[in-house]
Amino acid sequence: MRLYATENANKPHESIPKGFEGFFGKTKSNPKSPNQNPKPNPNNNGQKPPEMPNANVILGTLAGSYLLYKATAPSESSRELTWQSFRSNLLDKGLVDRLEVLNRNRVRVYLRNEANSLGVPPNASFYFSIGSVEAFERNLEQAQRELSIPSFERVPVSYRDQVSVLQTLLHFAPTLLIIGVIYYMTKKGPGGAQGGIFGIGKSKAKMFNQENQVQVKFKDVAGADEAKVEIMEFVNFLKNPAIYEKLGATIPKGAILSGPPGTGKTLLAKATAGEAGVPFYSVSGSEFVEMFVGVGPSRVRDLFATAKKNTPCIIFVDEIDAIGKTRGKGGQMGGNDERESTLNQLLVEMDGFDSNQHVVVLAGTNRPDVLDPALLRPGRFDRHISIDRPDIGGRAQIFQIHLRPIITSVDKETLARKLAALTPGFAGADIHNVCNEAALIAARRSKAQVEEVDFEEAIERVIAGLEKKSRVLSPDEKKTVAYHEAGHAIAGWYLKHADPLLKVSIIPRANSTLGYAQYLPKDQYLYSKDQLLDRMSMTLAGRVSEEIFFDCITTGAHDDLQKVTKNAYAQVTTYGMNDKIGPLSFTDSQSEQQFQKPFSQQTGTLIDDEVRKIVTTAYDRTRVLLNDKKEDIEKVAELLLVKEVLTRQDMEDLLGKRPFKECTVYDEYVRRPSNQSEGAPPDFSNEGNDGTLQASR
């Protein structure tokens, strides 16, 4: 047909009925011969061109698109007509042989053989659309009547319902699409190996073994020697259970690692994974609870089922307080709490272990006080390992670890001891931040190595924040801040139980402080009433100094007042240090929320009066002290206005030595000869003859 149209495209066809001109195509340029090969690329050096990525997908898409086009596109020999064109060009000329109504909306026209003599291709077909069968029949009847066609010669009409495969597929396309999406989510979706949406109940725990072993070892963890000894026992039991079992011992079911944030609980768990040599599963407590009911218990079951198949192994649940809080507190009132269901399943799984299964559960939390007692009882978490903030020796060990990659000319052991003395109360995360900040400061100044002054500046940045050079104080504000900080410094200098001053500054910092003083407190765990009173007086000294020299007070002491008020209430309601209230403590450490005070209204009024009396007494005592040392305050304040930062040596040059015999932490720890047993962390990587880990100094 196309060849016929091409050959006769340039010939005149005077006898072609009007409307059929579209069947005669225009002359087209000849396509390239299939025998013509593309020219070889001289730049490919005879190499095979790179394969097209996802070739199967692309070919399948092209094939599907072609089949869809062939199924939906009308035939090249089929042409749609209007009723008027059908009647004038076909019906009126007697070329119509018969009509076929398809699906009551389309009429297919079959022509007589005489139509071929008029230049119409033999296989050509025509059709036109109708709105309704009744209207079509009326129009056809009227047209044939007007043409005076006898009834026995009239065009026959047949009716047929034609079912299209494509139409059927399109009819079911939404259903097929939904089924395909569900299949993708279940098999190929984000769930991956966990089974897509139906794998939402699968555990998300990450497994570490010999193939993807963690590089952190016990020697990389410092400041928690006692905790490492406890954890080593679990590791040794899993590696060599026969040593313990022959004596009748059974492995503890689990251990809780608790302590303040940043003390190294998760790091210790990583070291356990690196040293254990057995499968180690790590999961966060928040990963058990999702928006779907039953997901948490399902994930707990899946986690422990996987662990039982890979014994001996260790499970570590980080931040277990996300699911382990005491039941009945913080739950959803009047409904089923998914968190409690998850906790119940965890309790069942931990208590259901056989002693010979060799599965250990470790958990980390910052809030052991809110955990459910059933979770902490022996048989589930047998051991409670507390990891506190390190003392000065532990801080020195941690500094030595974090100083390993630092490039500096200073002796690292001496530097670690000094920095440990300058950072009381710092946890391991804080120490890492100090070392990193020091390196960043040195790099920012294009130094070849990190100097000691960079570490001191990093400590200031961690304690008080970044210097706020854009915050420019007026002369009056700067003077007020100078006398405020001078009051703190003088009170701390002349009060016996105050911490030794290290540095005082009036440079604004990023954490909204206009000035700050840095002290060197000892690692102290017990405080007497006199010590607390001296601390309160030193805290109030800034406000008292403003009142003495400017006869007014500012808002700069609001943080000091909060600390003093908290200290006074603790003395009265917690420590039992008040004579009128007596040796009573109203603080319930086990209660997360107190909806009513544990004392009467009359006792509450008495507590408020006693707290006010304690603060007023400390305030008056501080005023007397600063009035006596008024000249010293002026000296310190004037020098602060000039230098903005004063060190302990500057204070000694102005005021002389403190009137008390003292030996600061710096003197005790830094200036005495170093001892290798204190300065370096113990080595926990040694193995005994039986293969167990042993700590050595």
Cβ distance 644 to 505 under 8 Å? yes
260 Cβ neighbours under 8 A, 6+ residues apart:
366, 388, 389, 427
| Region at 576 (left for phi over 0; alpha for psi -120 to 50; beta for the rest) | left
Q: What does the DSSP assignment read for 171-225?
A: HTHHHHHHHHHHHIIIIISTTGGG-GGGGTTS--PEEE-STT-----GGG--S-H
Selecting among 319, 338, 437, 485, the annotated active-site residue is 485
Question: DSSP alpha helices (H): ranges in 352-451?
Answer: 373-376, 392-402, 412-422, 428-444
Report the amino acid identity of residue 380: R
Using alpha carbons only, what angle is made at residue 434 by residues 431 and 439, rounded to the nearest 5 degrees?
Answer: 135
* CB-CB contact of 249 with 281 (8 Å): no
Class of residue 102 by CB neighbours under 10 A (exposed 0-12, middle 13-18, buried 19+): middle
Residues whose CB falls within 8 Å of the CB of residue 333, separated by 6 or more in sequence, listed in order: none
Find, among 237, 272, 329, 288, the residue nearest to 590 by Cα: 329
Residues 6+ apart with CB under 8 A from 455: 415, 419, 434, 435, 438
| SS3 call for 212 | coil
Where would I find the H helices in 556-672? Answer: 558-573, 601-628, 630-643, 648-655, 665
Q: Count CB neighbours of 356 within 10 A.
A: 10
From CA 565, how far away is CA 560, in angstroms rounded?
A: 9
What is the rounded end-to-end Cα distance, in angstroms, of the chain? Answer: 97
**CA-to-CA distance for 507 and 433, rounded, in angstroms?**
22
The number of CA neighbours under 13 Å toward the Cβ of 83 is 12
Contact indicator for 76, 1 with CB cutoff of 8 Å: yes
Give Cα separations from 363 to 70, 256, 281 (angstroms). 63, 5, 11
Round to whole Å and give the CA distance between 598 and 581.
14
Q: What kind and span of H or E run contains 181?
A: helix 173-183
485 is catalytic: yes
Say if residues 389 and 351 touch (Cβ distance below 8 Å). Answer: no
Residue 542 phi/psi, 5-degree rounding, is -65, -45
Torsion angle, CA of 323/329/330/334, rounded to 10 degrees?
110
How far from chain centre, in Å, is Cα 672?
Answer: 45
Distance of CA 468 to the CA centre of its chain: 30
Give every CB contact of residue 338 below 8 A, 6+ residues apart in sequence: 289, 293, 294, 295, 296
Q: In terms of residues, how long is the chain?
A: 697
**Helix axis angle, 475-494 to 601-628, nearest 10°:** 100
Other C-beta atoms lying within 10 Å of the C-beta of residue 343: 26
Measured at the alpha carbon of residue 675, what is the angle toward residues 672 and 677, in degrees to the nearest 5? Answer: 150
Query: What H or E segment, with its residue span, contains residue 530?
Result: helix 529-550
| Strands 645-647 vs 693-696: parallel, antiparallel or unpaired | unpaired
Calpha distance 81→87 (Å, rounded): 10
Give catalytic residues, as residue numbers. 485
